[in-house]
Amino acid sequence: MNNAGVFSLGDVEIAGEMDAVVQKPVRSLDGMTAVTLEASFSYGTGGVACAAVVQTTFDGNAWRDVARFDFDTATAVKHCNLEGLLSKPVTSYAPLVKQGFYDGVLGNGLRAVVSSKGEYSGTSLALRASVR
């Protein structure tokens, strides 16, 4: 792995509704074989639902979902560990529509996409990736 370490995938203040707001990607992760993801949701008031989707890319243009974290009206910290050295059967790609993961697929970049419903106040989301 050329660039192992812990990276921020976003520190987001959640206020009004957000519709798939793309966070700054982390690139140059050539040789990434595993990543542990942490999503830390700090709830204030209001709101209904918040989702953070972590995506990977092979070419820097097309991004594919590898993990999704769903939150509502409670503070929570969630984790997911993904490995790229697994054998996977041939399958068609499908975006993650609820909390879950798609293991065995890691490209050379990561990014997060955040969405929320309802009017949150005093609420934030921090996303971290420990890449190896």
Query: Model's pTM, two decimal places?
Result: 0.95
- On the question of pLDDT at 86 being above 90, the answer is no
Residue 18 domain-assigned (yes or no): yes
Domain boundaries, position 26: 5-85+99-131
For the segment 71-99, the average pLDDT, to the nearest whole number, is 94
Q: Are 32 and 108 in contact (CB under 8 A)?
A: yes
Tens of pLDDT, residue by residue over 21-63, are 999 999 999 999 999 999 999 999 999 999 999 999 999 999 9
Query: Residue 36's domain is classified under what CATH number?
Result: 2.60.120.1570
Q: Count how many domains the chain has.
A: 1
